[in-house]
Amino acid sequence: MKASDVFAPGRFPTHTFVDEHLADKRQQLLDTLEAGSMLISISGPSKSGKTVFVEESLGRSNLVQITGAGVTTPQDLWMRVFDMIGTNLPTTVTSTVGSSTKAGGTVRLEGSAMIVKGSGSASLEHSDTSSDAVTASLASDCLNLLIKELGGSDLVIFIDDFHYIPLHVQQEVARQIKEAIRNKVRFICASVPYHADDVIRGNPDLRGRVFSIDFQYWGAKVLKQIARKGFPLLGIKCTEAAIDRLAAEAAGSPQLMQYLCLNSCYELSVRETVEPTAELNDDSTILEGICKRTVQSTDYGSIVEKMKEGPKTRGSARTIHMTK
Contact, 159 vs 195, CB < 8 A?
Answer: no
pLDDT at 122 (0 to 100): 57
Task: Using 50 as the pLDDT threshold, list the residues of the chain that sit under it.
Answer: 135-136, 138-139
Q: What is the pLDDT of residue 295?
A: 86
For residue 249, give the 3-state DSSP assignment. Answer: helix
Q: What's the pLDDT score for residue 225?
A: 95
Q: Phi first, then psi: give them for residue 5, nearest 5 degrees.
A: -90, -30
What are the φ/ψ torsions at residue 310 (nearest 5 degrees)?
Answer: 70, -170
Write down how long the chain is: 324
Cα separations in angstroms, 270 against 39, 54, 120? 45, 31, 87
pLDDT at 290: 92
The span from the CA of 265 to the CA of 5, in Å, is 12
